[in-house]
Each structure stands twice: as C-alpha cells, then as structure tokens.
Amino acid sequence: MASPLAQKLAKALGSPVTGSKPMRGGDIADVSCLTLGDGRKVVAKRPRADQGDTTKIEAMMLKHLRAASDLPVPEVLFQEAGILVISHIEHQGITNARAAAEDVAKHVAALHRVTSGDKKPYGFKADTVIGPLPQKNVPSADWISFFRDQRLLAMARSCLNTSRIDAGFMTRVEALAAKLPDLIPRDPGASLLHGDLWAGNMLIDGDHAAGFIDPAISYGHREMDLAFIQLMGGLDPAFFDAYHAHFAIDAGFHEDRCALYQLWPLLVHVRLFGGGYVHQVGSVLDRFGV
C-alpha cells in the first residue's frame, strides 16, 4: 500500500510517482527528479537534516515571481513540511554563450521593470531566505538604511556571531556602512529582485535561458542582481551590453557600486563557507578605505 505522502503526491500531481533519480546541485536539500505514471517529470526537494525547512518560503517566492513577473520559474505543484515539488525544466547547458547571456539579460531586465508601488517599497511582505540563511525584509522607504541594516550589517553580524570574522573586521564593515550615504542612492527604483543569480540558478538550454530557480526575492535596487551576476553568474560579458540596451544601467555602477553591492553575496559566502571569501570582503573594504 502506498505511503500517506505517496498518496498525497498522486492526488496533487494527478499521477502516481513511479521512479526517482537524484539530481546534482542541492546544497541545502536533497533534490530528486521524479517520474510520474503518465510520463511527466517533476522535481522534489527535501531539506537535509542539518538545515532548516525552507520549503514553504521557497514555494511562496516562486509563486510571487510567477504572479508578478514573466520570469520563467518552476511551477509549485505540492508543498508541505519537509518537501517541495516543482515542475521540471529541461535544459542542456550553454552552447552559444553570447546568445545565452543576451537572453538572460532580456529576462532580468524585464523582471527589474516590476516595481513594488508601496509607500515603503524596499523589502517584501515577508522575510525570505538566501540559501539556508534568513533574509530580513522589513519594508522601508529608504534604500540606504534598508541595505545597511537588513543586508550589510545583518549578515556581517551573523558572520561575527558564528566566528567567521572577528570584532576588528566587523568594525571595518561598520565604518563602510557609515559611508553609504555618499556611495549609493537613497531612493532608486524598487525593482523585484531574484536575489541569488549565480550560475547554478540560471538554467541555460543552448542559446537561451530555460528557467531560473532558487530565488531569494525582495524589492530593492536592481544593481544588487547585476552585481551578483558579475561576481558569480558565469555569463558572457555580452550580458551587460544587452541588459543596458533593455534597461539603461546608471553611471557609476561598474566603477564603484558593483563592488559595494557584491559585499552581500560575499558575506553570505563568508557566513556559509568562511575561507577565501573573507579575503575578498577585505579587498572590497580596502577599496573603500576602511
């Protein structure tokens, strides 16, 4: 007799699960490709025992992206404590790097055209996650204070509290935080951000983007996503020219703000992995004289 979960899945998916194959790429969850009795494939994610259960939050983020934008993301098919099932997106990897980068640029620029419209536009209606880590999103009318308090300092304190950095290093981050009014705009457009645009979260099929997975959404300065892509996206340099053609990049991004906004993903990686990422953060702090 099928287990209670198998019965739930069969009812939700309209067909029983007949096969399961592990998939690569799950850093915080065990990921499997499930074959259904009707021949369809779906993806199941189960958080590992040493990680928190973020399936409900991930489902909410995917649903928001599908409702608010045209970004191709998986459909949420089933979620309960300990499991998330989403649609499977076929992709074979990059065969035309330039065309793929240009297609990603088209999708990301369109995503960034989606704005909050709220009086306090920066943040989100709920806290989210980036990987296994909490991501605060208390709505704010001021981008500088949002980025300072809920991104830069929040993650640096998490690194300090877990002994990834020491008090002296934290003091340097705080000194940079004090300089932010001179370095970033106070009220840029509040764009819908994917939030975790590294190479593994962009599913490329030949010459185009088939889908985007594992979001860490909020509304914020779109340059956050651009800085993430420049650091970890693994895309052809044509991406930035193509993005600029769709949605002009403001002066000063490549020269200064890109490195500044890269502190967020770098600190996330310091918190998760330590090691060389601490030195990369230190290099950015050196650049800004703190």
Q: Given CA atoms 72, 147, 228, 183 in this order, what sign does their dihedral have?
A: positive
Task: Characterise 110 by phi-psi region: left (phi > 0), alpha (psi -120 to 50), beta (else).
Answer: alpha
How far is it, in rounded angstroms, from Cα 144 to Cα 142? 6
DSSP string, 210-239: EEE-S---EEE-THHHHHHHHHH----THH
Judge whether 108 and 243 are in contact, CB under 8 Å: yes
How far is it, in rounded angstroms, from Cα 194 to Cα 135? 13
Give the active site residue among 149, 166, 196, 207.
196
196 is a catalytic site residue? yes
What DSSP state is assigned to residue 124? Answer: -
Q: Which DSSP helix (H) or strand (E) runs through 178? A: helix 167-179
Token digits for 85? Answer: 């099932």
How far is it, in rounded angstroms, from Cα 193 to Cα 111? 7
Which active-site residues does the annotation give? 196
